[in-house]
Amino acid sequence: MTADAVLNARPAITVPKEWSDVARVALRVQQEYRYTYSAPITDVRQRLIMVPPERYGDQELRSHELTVHGAENVSLEWENDRFGNRACKVRASRVEESVRFAVEFEVERIAPPTAQRLRANASVDPFLAPTALTAPDDRIREAGAALLAALPHAPVPEEIVPLGSHGLRQWMLALLAGEWTSKAIRYQHGQTGVQTPAAMALHLGGGVCQDYAHIAIAVLRTLGVPARYVSGHVLGEGAPHAWFEAILPDPSDPSRLIAMAYDPTHHRRPGMSYITVAVGRDYADVAPTSGSFTGMAGSRLVPKKDAWVVDLQMASE
């Protein structure tokens, strides 16, 4: 069955107005990246991070399929990277004109949304150190200082009241950083790219989801709060999305760490309509497609994505 046929065969399931009433939801995603070349290329090596892990918090992967079209002698090798992401190494001997990497997968989420717990021996050091995309400048450091000053006056959510002073501080800084970043820049396509550092996006005053995530992460790391970049999808949006997770003490068991997610682009905590695909220090760790080839050809990339509800169970049922 072609991708177009699958799209046309969707079940007619209405998206709920209030996700708080949803007990369980199954979501299907189709995503593809098509590269076209001005001349034939050889020795194609591509790394794809487009399929979620088997489990992530309450999210469970039910099925997935990756296909490669337009390439000769294709081989696929799946692996888990250092952050637990599912990566596929694609090798091909030749591409004549274009190659298309197409993924279809289905995930299920169970309410209420459950944060991802870290392994007991997991290190947070990678999420504390600045990277090329999250290196702070004076303005980012000043933003961190302002959050510290605002900390004593911010209302404490009921869910984190059981934590001790250190845990409360970490949680509140993470929430304040998310809220501050939501207002720090305006959403604007074309002003930044995936290689734009957080400090530059903040200076320009505009950007897209990866810029919001990078800025929040940069601020939190200056405050000693480990934070990581999340790539994924949101139902109803035509492109992949990004947000951040702060690594914080679990309010139900302060001896354990969980990943508290916040979406500064939409100024909210992610809910049941979100799908996590991968996490890393910044965008460079989780780029959905990256690689190399041999040849003198120029290339053009055309991305495409769609996501929809496959099955739904309301809480009252």
Share of the chain above pLDDT 70, in %: 96
pTM here?
Answer: 0.93
Q: Token pair of 155, please? A: 């209302």
Share of the chain above pLDDT 90, in %: 87
Predicted local distance difference test score (pLDDT) of residue 11: 59
Question: Which domains are delineated in the chain?
Answer: 24-112+288-310 (2.60.40.2250), 116-270 (3.10.620.30)
**CA distance readout (Å), 312 to 30, 111, 270, 272, 290:** 19, 11, 18, 11, 35
Whether 181 and 116 have beta carbons less than 8 Å apart is answered as no
The stretch 82-106 carries a mean pLDDT of 97
Task: Categorize the per-residue pLDDT at 14 as very low, low, confident or very high, splitting at 50, 70 and 90.
Answer: confident
Give the whole-angstrom CA distance, residue 54 versus residue 37.
34
Closest C-alpha among 207, 206, 143 to residue 178: 143
The stretch 68-91 carries a mean pLDDT of 97
Task: Categorize the per-residue pLDDT at 5 as very low, low, confident or very high, splitting at 50, 70 and 90.
Answer: very low
Which sign does the torsion angle of CA 176, 218, 51, 186 carry?
positive
- What are residue 302's DSSP bridge partners? 34
Predicted local distance difference test score (pLDDT) of residue 97: 95
Amino acid residing at 294: T
Predicted local distance difference test score (pLDDT) of residue 317: 54
> What would the pLDDT profile of 237-266 be if each residue is shown by its tens digit?
888 999 999 999 999 999 999 999 999 999
